[in-house]
Amino acid sequence: MIGYEEGAVHVSASPGSGKTALCLGVVSGIISSGGKVVWACREMPNLDRAREILSGISEEGYENISIIHFSSELPKYTDAILSMSRDFNKSDIVIVDDWCGSYGRAKKEEIKSVMRISENCKATNVVITSSSYEDASGASESNWISRGGRSVKEAYQTVFLQKHPMRQGVRIIRSEGVEKLLLMTNHGLEEISS
């Protein structure tokens, strides 16, 4: 759905569009296939919602998920993320949910952290998420801009996730000119035909 197998991905999402649900669905798939996960997050996901999306994971599967709650201190936890994923391969994944704050510019230290993660995790899959912001200039194709600037755009494939303007429960995901529709379900976001 987001092509993380092809290289590091930055999910830039409009507020409330379901970036955490999308990533929890990815976690479920990775764990169900026998992989390992490092989940680093600014805020812990809603426990009931996470439990619902991850309901298909076995007891043993949960042992393959490492969680780091970095709050607003990603740079302090970057070494731990890298250490925990040191032996990861393409069947595993590192997810950094809300790598930067939702308002204002991303801090230089946060940008450096996600760049280090991209550079040091080339043997595994990497997905980072952040809140996108509206383009007041009208210069962007989708009216949304991702955080992190040019360096993050060069290191990560940017995928935009938004609520559908007319269909409740439906999300739009865009990447390199390709648009897909997703439905919010009890198990996260699932691709639907248009």
- For Cα atoms 16, 94, 27, give the angle at the middle one, nearest 5 degrees: 60
- In terms of pTM, does the model score above 0.85? yes
Looking at the chain, the number of H-run helices and the number of E-run strands are: 6, 11
β-pair partners for 41: 69, 97
DSSP-H helix ranges across the chain: 19-32, 47-53, 59-62, 74-84, 108-120, 149-155
Please answer whether residues 77 and 114 qualify as being in contact, where contact means their C-beta atoms are separated by less than 8 angstroms: no
What's 4-161's CATH class?
alpha beta
Confidence grade of residue 37 (pLDDT, cut at 50, 70, 90)? very high
Segment 41-71, tens digit of pLDDT:
999 999 999 999 999 999 999 999 999 999 9
Segment 67-85, tens digit of pLDDT:
999 999 999 999 999 999 9
HSE value, Cβ hemisphere, 13 Å, CA-based, for 95: 27
Domain spans, the chain: 4-161
Please answer whether residues 166 and 176 qualify as being in contact, where contact means their C-beta atoms are separated by less than 8 angstroms: no
CB atoms near residue 52 (< 10 Å): 15
Angle of helix 74-84 relative to helix 108-120, nearest 10 degrees, comes to 10
pLDDT higher for 9 or 104?
Answer: 9
Instruction: Provide DSSP, 138-161.
Output: S-SSSSEE-SSHHHHHHHSEEEEE
R_g over Cα of the chain: 16
Residues in the chain: 194
| 3-state DSSP assignment of residue 3 | coil
